Copies of this chain bind each other. A is one copy, B any other.
């Protein structure tokens, strides 16, 4: 199975309103709820690709119960979330139907106690015994040590399980030092980490900081992959309009599934790019349009890039 870790899972709530007027009262015309958090999205896409996906992390309170119920009812993802005393955070996306734009409000998440953190570590180590790869995804809830991804990366490497790291800021910086097999920052995260807005240079720098390989998502420009064996860039055969939320999570699922299937790097990259583009055409993060994926995959153009400056 493939394990995904979501320390700050969320109950994602989407409200549709005819038009958003700041400082006024709105009757919401449509309410949708789904399990949220990057690792849960990755797990959903992996399950849709036919992989056995197990999701761990924390869930608690009424919102945590709602999230777990939706995960069981609506996905093929196995629930290995660890109970926590605080309530799982909500994210609220307010869709303005007059423009299609979304205003997003993200709660900070529950404070995790040292005892809960310790319980999670035990569960995580146990799950690694059965894992072929692990993805460490997203932001941290209050109370979790900032070097958490470094610790989880070392535990995975000790267990011989390849690690993909997808986070930002200080947790990314510290996680890289533990030498994950693959880091997947986006262009903004790369620039914040390295100070360089030139993706190839920044990706190379990120490898020097510890990642064995770096896959950088570049929005409509596709994805750049820098490894010890070569560097490649790939883009979808045509521009895809839609909602980019979750596209990065689908790319992670593409890279991870390619890893456990032992595909060559360029094929993993093609899969990540096609899945990412097919997600832009789906209504929600963690979902992709299978017809668009099948149509785009053979047309993804992969080009070699120089591996060293």
Q: List the interface of chain A (C-beta within 8 A of B).
A: 13, 15, 17, 20-29, 31, 61-63, 65-66, 90, 92, 94, 96, 99, 101-108
A sample of 8 more A-B contacts (CB under 8 A), given A62-B65, A92-B92, is A17-B105, A23-B96, A25-B104, A26-B105, A27-B108, A28-B105, A31-B107, A62-B62
Q: A101 to B26, Cβ gap below 8 A?
A: no
Known: A62-B65, A62-B66, A92-B92. A104 touches B26 (CB 8 A): yes
Chain B residues with CB below 8 A from A96, complex form: 22-23
Q: B108 to A31, Cβ gap below 8 A?
A: yes
Q: A106 to B23, Cβ gap below 8 A?
A: no
Cross-chain contact of A105 among B90, B94, B104 (Cβ < 8 A): B94
Q: How far is the CA of A66 from the CA of B62 in the complex (A)?
A: 7
Q: A104 to B24, Cβ gap below 8 A?
A: yes
9 closest A-B pairs by CB: A62-B62, A23-B101, A25-B104, A62-B66, A26-B105, A28-B107, A22-B103, A31-B107, A28-B105
Least CB separation from A89: chain B residue: B31
Chain B residues with CB below 8 A from A17, complex form: 105
Chain B residues with CB below 8 A from A101, complex form: 22-23
Nearest CB of B to A74, in Å: 16
Chain B residues with CB below 8 A from A65, complex form: 62
Chain B residues with CB below 8 A from A102, complex form: 23
